[in-house]
Amino acid sequence: MTSVLGNVSLKFSDEQSMLMDVARGFLNDKAPTDKIREFLESDQGYEPQLWEEIVNLGWTGIALPEMVGGAGLGISAVIPVAEAMGHALLGTPLIDTTLAGQLLLRAGGAEQEPLLQEIAEGRIATVAFLDGGDWGGANLALTMTTEGVLSGSKTFVGCGHEASLILVVGQCDNAPAIAVVEAADLKAGAISVNTLIDLTKRTAQIDFTGVPAKAVLTGEHVVAAIRDYRLLGALLTAAEAAGSAARCLAVIVDYLKTRKQFGKLIGSYQALKHPTVDIYCGVEDARSFCYHAASLLDADSLSHDAEIACRMAKVSAGQTMSYAGDRAVQFHGGIGFTWDCDSTLFIRRGQWSHQVFGDAIHHRKRLASLLLD
C-alpha cells in the first residue's frame, strides 16, 4: 500500500520516536487487516495472547512512574502508541487501562501504589464515568456513602466486561468522588455489553448498586484528576483517530491510483482529488495538534495551555476521521457500504472517535470559554 506520510517532519522526543517505530513494526506484524476482522468476531475484540505481548513490551506502564514499576516516561509517550494502534484499527484495553492509571495516580497518590503497580504489570483497569450519553455533563448521578457503598449505574464503560479494576466517578456528600471497585464484587448480571457502531471497540453498562468500594477518594485533587482524565481521554482518542485517518487516507490513495472509470484512473478526477487533499491536510493538522498537546503534559494537573491543546486536538482529529471515513465509503461507490469493503470499518471508527470524550461542538464551546471568558 502506498505511503502518504513520508514527508512528515514533526520533531519527536527520543522516547516518542522509539515507541513509534516499535509500535508500528509490532502492529504491522501482529494486527494486519485480516486479523482485525477476525478479532471483530471475538468477545474481547483482540487476542489474549496479543494483550500479553503488549504487556511484555511494557506499554501498560509507559506513563506510570518507576516507583510503581512503570517506565516513567509520562503520558506524552503514550501518544505515538495510541496513534499506531489507531492506524491498525486495533481495539485493546490499553487506552482504558492507561487512563485508569492516570486517574488513580493523580487522585490517589502514594496510598494507591500497590494498585498502580498491578496496572503497570498488565492488570486491565477502566474508568466508569458516563451516566448517559452526554460527555459535557457532570456525570455525578451515581452516589456513594462515606462507608463506600455505591448506588447507581454507568454506561459506555470501556472494556467494562473484562476489566478487573474499575474506578467509578460519582459523588459522596454532594462532592465529586472516585470509588475504587473490584469487578469481582459486582453482582451477578450487573454487566450488560453495549452494541457500538465501531465494532473494534467494546464497552458495557454496569450497575454498581449495593457494591462495596475498596476505597473512596475525595478532595480538591480528585476534582482536578477527573478534569485531567477527561482531557487526557480526549487527547488519546484524538491520537488514535489521527492514526486511523492516516490509514484511511492510504487506502483511499491506493484505490484512486488503481481503480479506472471511463478509461481513466478515478484519481485523475478533480472532484476526488480535492477531498483527498483535504483529508491529507486534516491528518497533518490532527497529528500536529496531538504532539503539540503532548509537549505540554507532565505529572502535574494540566495547565490552561494544555487544556486548549487537548481540546483542539480532539476537534481536529475527530472531524478529520469522520470526514475521511465518509469519503472512503463514497469514493468506493456501492461496494463501500458493504461489509467486505474496509471503508465500513473506517466510517464506523470515525463516528465513534468523533463522539467519545466529547464531539467537536462540545470542545469548541469549551475553547470559546477558555479564550474569551
Give bridge partners of residue 172 from the DSSP assignment. Answer: 175
Q: What share of the chain has pLDDT > 70, as a percent?
A: 97
| Residue 3 CB neighbour total at 10 angstroms | 10
Sign of CA dihedral 127, 242, 14, 294: negative
| Residue 54 CB neighbour total at 10 angstroms | 24
How far is the first Cα of the chain from the last one, in angstroms, to the nearest whole number? 47
Residues counted in the chain: 373
Measured CA angle at 297 (ends 50, 51), to 5 deg: 5
Residue 72's Cβ-count burial label (10 Å; 0-12, 13-18, 19+) is: middle
Choose the weakest-confidence range: 32-41, 56-65, 314-323.
32-41
Does some domain include residue 338? yes
Does some domain include residue 318? yes
Does some domain include residue 269? yes
Which residues have CB under 8 Å from 78's CB, separation 6+? 59, 62, 63, 98, 236, 239
Does some domain include residue 181? no
Does some domain include residue 354? yes
Domain count, the chain: 1
Q: Which pLDDT does position 11 carry in this prediction? A: 64
Q: Which is nearest to 240 in space by CA: 287, 277, 196, 199?
A: 287
Measured CA angle at 214 (ends 218, 94), to 5 deg: 85
| Residue 354 CB neighbour total at 10 angstroms | 23
Domain housing 291: 222-372
- pTM beyond 0.85: yes
Distances (CA, A) of 241 to 27, 80, 216, 366: 16, 12, 33, 20
Q: Which pLDDT does position 343 carry in this prediction? A: 93
Which residues have CB under 8 Å from 335's CB, separation 6+? 341
pLDDT of residue 5 exceeding 60? no
Q: What is the mean pLDDT of the chain?
A: 93
pLDDT of residue 352 exceeding 70? yes
Instruction: Give dist(CA 224, CA 168) in Å, integer.
Output: 15
CATH of the domain at 298: 1.20.140.10
Does some domain include residue 168? no
Q: Which pLDDT does position 137 carry in this prediction? A: 86
φ/ψ of 176, rounded to 5, equals -55, 140
Q: Determine the distance from the C-alpha atom of residue 368 to the mean position of all C-alpha atoms in its chain, rounded to a whole number.
A: 24
239 membership: H or E segment, kind and range: helix 220-256
Give bridge partners of residue 260 from the DSSP assignment. Answer: 265
Does some domain include residue 311? yes
Does some domain include residue 76? no
Mean pLDDT along residues 315-323: 98
Mean pLDDT along residues 11-19: 78
Q: Which pLDDT does position 55 carry in this prediction? A: 97
Q: Which pLDDT does position 132 carry in this prediction? A: 86
pLDDT of residue 323 exceeding 90? yes
Residue 215's Cβ-count burial label (10 Å; 0-12, 13-18, 19+) is: middle
pLDDT of residue 4 exceeding 90? no
Mean pLDDT along residues 113-140: 94
pLDDT tens per residue, range 162-213: 999 999 999 999 999 999 999 999 999 999 999 899 999 999 999 999 999 9
